């Protein structure tokens, strides 16, 4: 059964030129090589994808697979830049949206959309001691 179209952020491009994306609800979506190449997808791009449930043996790792897609926002990150995606974030680092947007030369709204769809990045309330 076809699902409705959903916005998906491309989270990773594989060496085989397939891709994985994440929906607003946190569901993972597989994009085959044909879609990746025809749309020239790269990490950080936002697409509107028509999806179906993935094959039974793949559903646990990746719930959906895209069968059609159109690019709605092209990431301006350069593929040769070692700080693509949210790669500048190390485990345990604390960043503000403003700091990430500056570091990655992206607008804050785009960074917010990427973060809200990235299951490995969570929002926390934090306290830090400053000099007295």
Distance CA 109, CA 124 (A): 19
pLDDT value at 89 more than 80? no
Supply the pLDDT for residue 85.
64
Percentage of the chain modeled with pLDDT above 90: 32
Output the pTM of the full model.
0.60
Domains annotated on the chain, with CATH: 6-73 (2.40.50.140)
């Amino acid at each position: 059964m076809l699902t409705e179209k959903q916005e998906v952020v491309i989270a990773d491009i594989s060496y085989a030129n397939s891709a994985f994306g994440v929906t607003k609800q946190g569901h993972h979506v597989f994009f085959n090589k044909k879609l990746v190449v025809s749309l020239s997808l790269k990490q950080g791009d936002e697409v509107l994808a028509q999806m179906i449930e993935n094959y039974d043996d793949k559903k646990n790792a990746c719930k959906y697979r895209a069968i059609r897609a159109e690019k709605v926002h092209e990431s301006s990150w350069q593929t040769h830049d070692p700080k693509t995606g949210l790669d500048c974030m190390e485990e345990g680092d604390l960043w503000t949206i403003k700091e990430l947007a500056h570091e990655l030369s992206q607008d804050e709204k785009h960074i917010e959309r990427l973060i809200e769809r990235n299951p490995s990045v969570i929002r926390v309330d934090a306290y830090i001691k400053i000099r007295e």
